[in-house]
A and B are shown apart, each in its own frame.
Chain A
Amino acid sequence: DGGITQSPKYLFRKEGQNVTLSCEQNLNHDAMYWYRQDPGQGLRLIYYSQIVNDFQKGDIAEGYSVSREKKESFPLTVTSAQKNPTAFYLCASSRQPGWTEAFFGQGTRLTVV
């Protein structure tokens, strides 16, 4: 089955620790995105990538980092510099950035204590 997979579904970390969220897709999509969703809030763009080895900051990139070494993978690291990291993180991919439908993963709910 083709799709986009995020892991883990729930993640707990202590304050001050970096944590990496996994996102893998087997849809052969060029574009991948990371969004953050807070309770009752919309989807805010963290980082996006249009092609392998290239990525751009979104609207709320501070405190986050990404890599795109493989077409299938776009991991997100939440660093200790992120002031309010507790949130629901969604990864998405699309064949063409913004022109075709985006497929979302199931999301990772990160709780920092």
Chain B
Amino acid sequence: GQQVMQIPQYQHVQEGEDFTTYCNSSTTLSNIQWYKQRPGGHPVFLIQLVKSGEVKKQKRLTFQFGEAKKNSSLHITATQTTDVGTYFCGVQGAQKLVFGQGTRLTINP
């Protein structure tokens, strides 16, 4: 089935530093979704990327979809304590939605 690898598993940064998480697939993806799960909460949808090379921004968050549609990244500029949580990428595979392992972001204020 469709699988996607997400790295790193953990990332600890100082507040104000940048953060990036990556999702990689061995096969071409039809689309990719990004979710954020706050500690003790449930995943919440952030964005969906569909087009090759697509770049979307949400304030300090920048999402990219690779040209070959096999990888994607989420970059946060100048992290804030509100960015703490686990970030997941989700991909479609055989009419189901599967997720990467997630990257847990912790921030030192």
> Residues of B contacting A35 with CB < 8 Å?
99
**B42 beta carbon closer than 8 Å to chain A:** yes
Instruction: Please tell me if the beta carbons of A101 and B96 are within 8 angstroms of each other in the complex.
Output: no
Beyond A103-B45, A104-B43, whether A97 also contacts B101 by CB under 8 A is no
Q: Chain B contact residues: over half helix, strand or loop, or mixed?
A: strand
> Residues of A contacting B35 with CB < 8 Å?
102
**B48 beta carbon closer than 8 Å to chain A:** yes
**B104 beta carbon closer than 8 Å to chain A:** yes
**A64 beta carbon closer than 8 Å to chain B:** no
Given A58-B96, A94-B97, A97-B92, 10 other A-B residues pairs in contact with their CB atoms under 8 A: A41-B101, A42-B100, A43-B99, A50-B95, A92-B97, A98-B31, A98-B93, A98-B95, A101-B33, A103-B45
Q: Could you show 8 A-B contacts with beta carbons less than 8 Å apart?
A: A45-B99, A48-B97, A97-B96, A98-B30, A98-B91, A98-B96, A102-B45, A105-B42
Residues of A within 8 A of B (CB): 31, 33, 35, 40-43, 45, 48, 50, 56, 58-59, 90, 92, 94, 97-107
